[in-house]
Chain A
Amino acid sequence: MNHSLLQVRRLTKHFPVDGGWLRPPRHVHAVDDISFSLKAGESFALVGESGCGKTTTARLLAKLEKPDAGSMLFDEQEVAELSGPALKQYNRDVQMIFQDPFESLNPRRTVRAILRQPLLNHDAAEKGEIDETVVGLLNQVGMEPGEIFMDRYPHQLSGGQRQRIGIARALTLKPRLVIADEPVSSLDISIRAQILNLLKALQAQHDLSYLFITHDLGVVRSVCDRVGVMYLGEIVELAAVESLFTTPLHPYTQALLSATPVADPVKARKRRRIILEGEVPSALDPPTGCRFHTRCPYSEKRCVEEKPALRELHPGHTVACHFAGDVGVDAAAD
């Protein structure tokens, strides 16, 4: 019962960048040898800053990009090898919700047309029942009564309502895995909470698994079960959500947590703050050894030379750092 719905092993994607005359082509190391798994009914978050490869991972899973190496097993089947009916089934089982509900909805199509399309493409409803199904979906995502929204265009809806349409569209084909790429980061705070409640309720109702792609650790703690922290194309820490927040092991995770605003002036001013120096290096030419060593407050010679392997320091809590678990590195977690 508790098997892995999705298993990602050593997934790698490099994008070539044109070199030029006499200059060899170079590669953006978008995703580099990452592994994680997701159980049925679970919410897994990939967290990181822009350029860390989290969106590329989502696009690989949605088959919008082809991986260079590694495997993605969905229900124990290799995603890259799917074809024919199995591929069609995969396309139904895995759906995506995008960040910007303005850009991911066709402005020239009505809500009805947007939500009908997947049903038609996959023969997922009887012709006579399509409208009824669409109204049902709208009601489910809190746009009640659904009938009054059917003939509206995206520009006639608010940002929150548009995101609800994006969610309804992802649900049309009764998926098992929903990949949500920053689903709330373009929304106002008061709307954000509404959408997250909706996503949680739908998960319980439909037994969905979520892959959350986000940069916002505030969302992660309340919405997800497990987390992978990405930095420059690699997963540097992988843990259950409470474990990650109470005992972050990787210096990058610690810095990320300390940089995330806490909505409580007393706590916010008491906590120890780690301000990282510099910026994320270019993914065209990632640093040797540990990719975080250029910004890490604990960096030593070994970090420059030797790439740290993922080690399981606590049950279910793995980290890629030579010194994680050492006294100095742990003290920063308070």
Chain B
Amino acid sequence: MNANAENRNGLLRVSDLRTYLDVPSGVIKAVDGVSLEVNRKEAVALVGESGSGKSMTALTIIRLQPVVARILSGEILLNDVDLLTLDTASMCDLRGTEIAMVFQDPMTYLNPVMRAGAQVAEVVLEHQEVSKGEARSQVLDAFERVGIPSPQRVYDSYPHQLSGGMRQRVLIAMAISCRPSLLIADEPTTALDVTIQAQIMDLLAHLREELQNALFLITHDIGLVAEHCDRIYIMYAGQIVEHADTFTLFAEPKHPYTEGLLRSTLSPDKRVEVFETIEGQVPNPTDMPSGCRFHPRCPHVKDVCREESPPSLDLGEGRMVACWLYE
């Protein structure tokens, strides 16, 4: 850990983050002791199924978690500044300039009664001392950079006049308009068709080369990650269960959940007659199993798994797994 603290490339360091949600039926431990790191210029993925807490992790990092959320513990260091200690105004200053986010459904995050260009210009005006005219030309630049074919027309369009792919490009333009060093993308292509998904992922890779930002990709699609990310965190029921670089993770997954996830992912490169599955289903978030949260579905379950939650084991070379099998 110490070596990492001195890592000059370190950009984001989250440690022991806990975000709990108070709901009528109890407490949802959405994020329960998550630690992760993103280095400068790196593409890192956080992979999990619905309800695993991956989006809540991202929202907490950028401090946009819902009002029912309580952050119980943790540190979110961005350039050695703990985001959790910042007041709202300083956090607002950082959003856009240092850290920005792209969401799954671009329609929900764009104001439907405001022209697309004006919404992006608003971000520029908020963060930079520029005139309206300059902001406009910066936005048009950003539009061009994200591959919008007719920037002028899109600038004056309302969101409903744009296609899904185009809206996502507007949102990406907004996110990069002030050149953040960290771009968080939460399922940025899930709502899009595959050929448009390929365009957007390609765009995110290009932008990373051009603007040298880091990408923190939140997704359920392990196939997408295989192609586009350097390192992967696997999340299950609010906790990180495994971490490795992409090639190692795919070649030799350690955690039984990761293994199951990889085996049940359908890929167009081979035909499978009977799919291997992970039996059962994701646990009820207000009533997590004791011990290891994966134990009711795990094929290798032992007694200790039912009673005690497994430690995060350091396997060397940056690999981490939280599983009793390797203790």
Interface residues, chain A, CB within 8 Å of chain B? 49-50, 158, 160-161, 188-194, 196-197, 200, 215-222, 241-242, 245, 255-269, 273, 275-276, 278-280
Contact = CB atoms under 8 A, between A and B. Distances in A.
Contacts of A216: 266
Contacts of B267: 218, 261-264
Given A218-B267, A261-B226, A262-B267, A279 B196 contact: yes
Shortest Cβ-Cβ A-B pairs, 10 listed:
A261-B223, A193-B264, A259-B198, A218-B266, A193-B275, A49-B193, A268-B227, A190-B278, A188-B49, A263-B223
Interface centre among A50, A218, A221, A263 (most CB of B within 10 A): A263
A241 B268 contact: no
A32 B216 CA distance: 42
Contacts of B194: 49, 215, 217, 256, 259-260
Contacts of A190: 49, 260-261, 264, 277-278, 281-282
B36 interface: no
Nearest to B267: A263
A221 B270 contact: yes
B193 A263 contact: no
B282 A193 contact: no
B275 A196 contact: yes
Interface of B: 49-50, 149, 163, 165-166, 193-199, 202, 220-224, 226-227, 246-247, 250, 260-262, 264-279, 281-282
A280 B196 CA distance: 9
Given A193-B277, A197-B274, A263-B223, A218 B165 contact: no
A18 B264 CA distance: 46
Given A191-B281, A221-B270, A279-B165, A264 B250 contact: yes
A189 B271 contact: no
A158 B282 CA distance: 9
A242 B271 CA distance: 8
6 contacts: A49-B193, A192-B264, A197-B277, A241-B271, A261-B226, A280-B193
Contacts of A267: 269
A261 B202 CA distance: 12
A222 B278 contact: no
Contacts of B281: 158, 160-161, 190-191
Given A193-B275, A221-B268, A265-B246, A275 B220 contact: no
Contacts of B222: 189, 263
B219 to A, nearest CB: 10
Contacts of A263: 222-223, 226, 250, 262, 265, 267
Contact of B226 (A200, A256, A264): A264
Contact of A192 (B266, B269, B276): B266
A263 to B, nearest CB: 4
Contacts of B260: 190
Nearest to B264: A193
Given A160-B281, A196-B266, A279-B163, 5 more contacts: A194-B277, A255-B195, A260-B223, A262-B267, A268-B227
B268 A276 contact: no
A96 to B, nearest CB: 22
A264 B264 CA distance: 13
A244 to B, nearest CB: 10
Contact of A245 (B199, B220, B226, B268): B268
A191 to B, nearest CB: 7
Given A265-B250, A279-B196, A188 B226 contact: no
Contact of B223 (A191, A221, A255, A262): A262
